[in-house]
Amino acid sequence: MTTQNLCILMVHAHPDDECLSTGGVLARYGAEGINTVLITATGGEEGEIVVPDMDTPENHARLRDLRDGELACAVAALGIDALERLGYRDSGMDGAEANNHPESFHLADKDVALGRLVALVRRYRPQVLVSYDERGGYGHPDHIACHQITVAAFDAAGDPARYPEAGAPWTPLKLYYTAFPRQEVYRAWTIMRERGMPTPLDNPDFDASRFTVEDTRITTTVPIHKYLPQKQASIDCHVTQIRKDSPFLAMPDDLAYDLFGVEHFIRVASRVDLPTFEGREDDLFAGLR
């Protein structure tokens, strides 16, 4: 299969999710000539505004528009070929009042949402699907909903009896979850602490297990060192959402190169024979090229 015939489709919940765990992979595969498709489920209306001067009632009222502009900036920085939106409202964190908003992804008819995603899978014909694990990465209702419909679409898109109005069937070949390996994250923070730098470890109540996984679950680690400048540029686009002094962005260059120079995934399913290798696979398209 030639590079020109390959496609990766990622299902993310909010603007900014695309850059943090998958920005390097999107930039890398786009540069290789692989078609990159980003699906964003919601408008991110419930996000915080981390810039004090921008944290006004007026900006909160138009936050969807602000985040839409930030997403467009990130898409351009990463060279993403296609951006599609599922059209739902941000549900907010688990237990938030926004969970009850009638337009929220949390309350959406999942059969309808699945139909929308199936139509996009059939339109773009990706070999590889990527979304979050069963916890949604860290328990956000919208991330969990993305997980649910992506896992379902991996099978439904190729079934001609399901959603016949959504186009000709297409069967994706590989399914992955994004992941942050726990021990590797802790190692970086421990080194920062030894250098006298603040880290989340300074807070005794901080629980990194909420957004990390055991390293043994990681099946795939993709090098993206060459694309770190694009990834950083995409992060910088999300002005309202990502603090410049966050524990990740404040990491020294040597640690950032080591920790962020790769992106990690859990291979959930493969319909192709995988090449023989030792350790982790280093390409989401292993077995497809």
Closest CA to 276 of 264, 287, 266: 287
Beta carbons within 10 angstroms of residue 26's beta carbon: 31
- 61 assigned to some structural domain: yes
- 16 assigned to some structural domain: yes
Indicate the average pLDDT of the chain.
Answer: 93
- 288 assigned to some structural domain: no
Into how many domains does the chain fold? Answer: 1
Mean pLDDT of 210-234: 94
CA distance 181 to 15: 23
- 126 assigned to some structural domain: yes
- 168 assigned to some structural domain: yes
Q: What is the CATH number of the domain that holds 136?
A: 3.40.50.10320
Taken in order 160, 269, 78, 40, is the CA torsion positive or negative?
positive
Residue range of the domain that includes 16: 3-180+216-270
- 203 assigned to some structural domain: no
- 41 assigned to some structural domain: yes
Whether residue 248 has pLDDT greater than 70: no
- 28 assigned to some structural domain: yes
pLDDT, tens digit, for every residue of 127-146?
999 999 999 988 999 999 99
pLDDT, tens digit, for every residue of 62-71?
999 999 999 9
